[in-house]
A and B are shown apart, each in its own frame.
Chain A
């Protein structure tokens, strides 16, 4: 079946540090890939997405590029802020999982001033 492998945390950074959270997806076919963010006490928000190889998703200073060769979708940000502290979930849809999102385990990010 489909699976998402996401870098485990927690990740603790100082403000203005660089962030990379690794994510790879295993599936039959070429899934759409997503990053969702969940702030404390809230639901999930779509952060960015890519629907085909070489697509680059970006939002709020975050970026991720869909690498076809490795089905990877690593999340990056050049300079994190305290307000970026949240749980980040990588997810994929399509392939053999019709109508279903497959989530990674989530990465807890804490940014200190």
Chain B
């Protein structure tokens, strides 16, 4: 299985809602990533988990809260979002360990709209 899955595919939420995005991989990868992507722009890194521990937080607002329950799962909890947070949220995974080779496999993304 060389796939990263993400649910839901689409999400519409109000600014007072609480919702969660889910990501799953079964490739035995030990690094998992959340990216935010605006239309026709490159993905922007938000968080990196390495061996289930948060290793990189790119100064993301606290209304985004990541969670890594186990090595296969990655969640992104959303609360009190703003309309400018509307974007495609991508999850990725890689073998982990950094070094000279860091191929990341991306999921299809969750298209988030904040009203």
Which A residues are closer than 8 A to B by beta carbons?
30-32, 34, 36, 42-46, 49, 51-52, 87, 89, 93-94, 98-101, 103-106, 108
Contacts and interface: CB of A to CB of B under 8 A. Distances in A.
A46 B102 contact: no
Contacts, number: 65
Nearest to A4: B42
**Which residue of A100, A104, A106 has the most chain B CB atoms within 10 A of its CB atom?**
A100
A46 B109 contact: no
B14 interface: no
A104 B40 CA distance: 12
A100 B56 contact: yes
Contact of B101 (A32, A43, A46, A104): A32
B103 A49 contact: yes
B55 A99 contact: yes
Interface in B16-73: 31, 40-43, 45, 48, 50, 55-56
A44 B100 CA distance: 21
With a 10 A CB-CB cut-off, give which of B55, B96, B104, B105 has the most chain A CB atoms: B104
A43 B107 contact: yes
Contacts of B42: 89, 103-106
A36 B43 CA distance: 11
Contacts of B109: 42-43
B102 A94 contact: yes
A89 B104 CA distance: 13
A99 B56 CA distance: 9
Given A44-B106, A99-B96, A103-B43, 11 more contacts: A43-B88, A44-B90, A45-B106, A49-B103, A87-B40, A93-B102, A99-B31, A99-B50, A105-B42, A106-B40, A108-B40
Residue of B50, B56, B100 most packed against chain A (CB within 10 A): B100
Interface string B87-105: 0101010001011111111
A100 B43 CA distance: 12
